[in-house]
Homo-oligomer: A and B are copies of this chain.
Amino acid sequence: MTVEDRDLTLLDDAAHAAELPRESDSLDEENTLKKDFVRRVQDALAEDDQETVYALVEPLHPADIADLFELIEVEERPVLAKAINDLMGSEVFAELNDHVRELLVESLPAEAIADIAEQLDTDDAVAMLEDLDERDQQAVLAEMEPEDRAAIESALSYPEESAGRLMSRDFVAVPEHMTVGDLIDFLRDSHELANEFWEVFIVDARHHPVGTCALSWILRTPRAIRLTDVMQRDQTLIPVSMDQEEVALRFQKYALISAAVVDESGRLVGQITVDDVVHIIQEEAGEDVLLLSGAGDGDVNEPIRDSYVSRVRWLVANLLTALLGATIISSFSGAIEKLVALAALSPMVASIGGNAGTQTMAVAVRALATNQLTRANTRRILWRELRVAMLNGGTVATLIGLATALVFASPLLGAVIGAAVLTNIVTAGLAGVLVPVTLDRMGQDPAVASSVFVTMITDSMGFFAFLGLAVASGLVG
């Protein structure tokens, strides 16, 4: 809603596009740093031309400076950090990719790290320090102001990826009897307030939150009104031990901007704001595709050795699964010798089953992660996926059966492969739901282990059904 004021003349000026985001010298149309720009920075770094580096980097937003670090070579990063000096503020550190930050932090002395940590919000400072080894961590903490040190040690006492680590200890909490006017006066007089806050928490004598008051409400309420009369009593309280993924789901479900964090006794100890959660939502939602394939972190800044270790583990696990399939085929060697076409066709049956299984698995894993698949509707969803699998299986089995019968001039072979494909796709549909659900019920992350089991099932079933039916049907004399 706009304020129409006699001083305000609203003239449309189609030519005036001064504020529109446009390609700049450094950012391209996708809002990422241009290749030329990065190259110019790298050239200046190579020539040790600190002035040019500084001039190029100075106009950038901290988030873009953080991106720049990711785009240059590993060896160039400490050089860049030195060249831009005072631009390397806490804001840039907060935005840095985890791996990049880890390397940079390792190259700095403890006092320098302590300085940066003191300027950061507790959750960002914790993110910076939590991956340091014990000795380095202690060294840094020793250099910090007692208050900040205590806050960080307190945060580190909570489990990793919990609300306690995510939360900020800066928030505004006021007693119940205050009026709007009291609050505004208090805020105006205080000099040490939270950087950003979107609502005010109202607490009782025991420091338990009794309600929240959005700033937009406070601003439009007359000064004399008591906060308890305008506050919202219905609030979402986050226990300090709650897993960050759960926190993210709550924020999404209830469209929260911020939420109070309470300890075991119900005392208000911190606040989580949605911008911290947004980062987690993207991470957690995006990681399923990486976990399902065993790609690990999926972060291209991860040291190569770490990527190798996590991925090769997965490949070896799948090797064992593939071995099972090879063993099954081996046991039908006699049949294959008599009808070599079987060797060419059996991988198709296994592969199609694998594809169908992966589809169902992807759906089930996402549905579990977003709480769409719960105990209350598991049976219904299983039945649904079974029906989809039968439709898919019927269609694909018919296509492949007809094609095979034609190409090999053998209706029996066509029927055998069709039946095998149908069996495998239906099996894949069932496995694609049951395996993730079972892992979830056992408290395991379904995205991590499901695909090994599902692939094992579809490969085995594929080879066994096809070759078994080929023999049983008398196709192979």
Q: Given that A8-B205, A71-B376, A333-B340 are known contacts, is A219 also in contact with B220, CB under 8 Å in the complex? A: no
CB interface residues, A 358-382, toward B, < 8 Å: 358-363, 365-367, 369-377, 380-381
Q: CA separation between A322 and B97, bound complex, in Å?
A: 40
A286 interfacial contact with B, CB 8 Å:
yes
Name the residue of chain B whose CB is nearest to the CB of A37: B376
| 14 A-B pairs with C-beta separation under 8 A | A1-B170, A3-B186, A14-B264, A16-B206, A16-B265, A17-B265, A19-B209, A35-B376, A70-B377, A290-B366, A295-B358, A300-B373, A315-B352, A340-B343
- A359 with B318: CB separation less than 8 A: no
- B307 with A220: CB separation less than 8 A: no
- B197 with A216: CB separation less than 8 A: yes
- A237 with B395: CB separation less than 8 A: no
A134 interfacial contact with B, CB 8 Å:
no
A157 interfacial contact with B, CB 8 Å:
no
- B30 with A374: CB separation less than 8 A: yes
Name the residue of chain B whose CB is nearest to the CB of A220: B187
Q: Given that A70-B377, A355-B293 are known contacts, is A329 also in contact with B316, CB under 8 Å in the complex? A: no
- A316 with B281: CB separation less than 8 A: no
* Chain B residues, CB < 8 A from A327: 344
With A282-B370, A298-B363, A319-B348 already in contact, 12 other A-B pairs whose C-beta atoms are closer than 8 Å: A7-B205, A8-B175, A19-B262, A20-B237, A33-B374, A63-B253, A187-B220, A281-B285, A304-B387, A329-B343, A336-B340, A346-B347
Q: Which of B1, B20, B329, B340 contacts A262 (CB 8 A)?
A: B20
* Chain B residues, CB < 8 A from A150: none
* Chain B residues, CB < 8 A from A167: none
- A1 with B193: CB separation less than 8 A: yes
- B285 with A359: CB separation less than 8 A: no
Q: CA separation between A175 and B171, bound complex, in Å?
A: 31
A86 interfacial contact with B, CB 8 Å:
no
A196 interfacial contact with B, CB 8 Å:
yes
Name the residue of chain B whose CB is nearest to the CB of A307: B388
Q: Given that A193-B1, A281-B281 are known contacts, is A352 also in contact with B319, CB under 8 Å in the complex? A: yes
Against B, the Cβ 8 Å flags (1 = close, 0 = not) of A256-267 are: 110000101111
* Chain B residues, CB < 8 A from A363: 290, 295, 298, 300
Q: Given that A172-B1, A175-B5, A277-B278 are known contacts, is A359 also in contact with B21, CB under 8 Å in the complex? A: no
Q: Given that A20-B262, A289-B289 are known contacts, is A282 also in contact with B252, CB under 8 Å in the complex? A: yes
Shortest 8 CB-CB distances between A and B: which pairs?
A285-B285, A289-B289, A343-B343, A215-B215, A285-B286, A329-B344, A295-B359, A322-B348
* Chain B residues, CB < 8 A from A222: 188
Q: CA separation between A347 and B7, bound complex, in Å?
A: 77
Selecting from A44-52, A106-114, A243-251, the interface stretch reads A243-251
Q: CA separation between A365 and B290, bound complex, in Å?
A: 10
- A205 with B392: CB separation less than 8 A: no
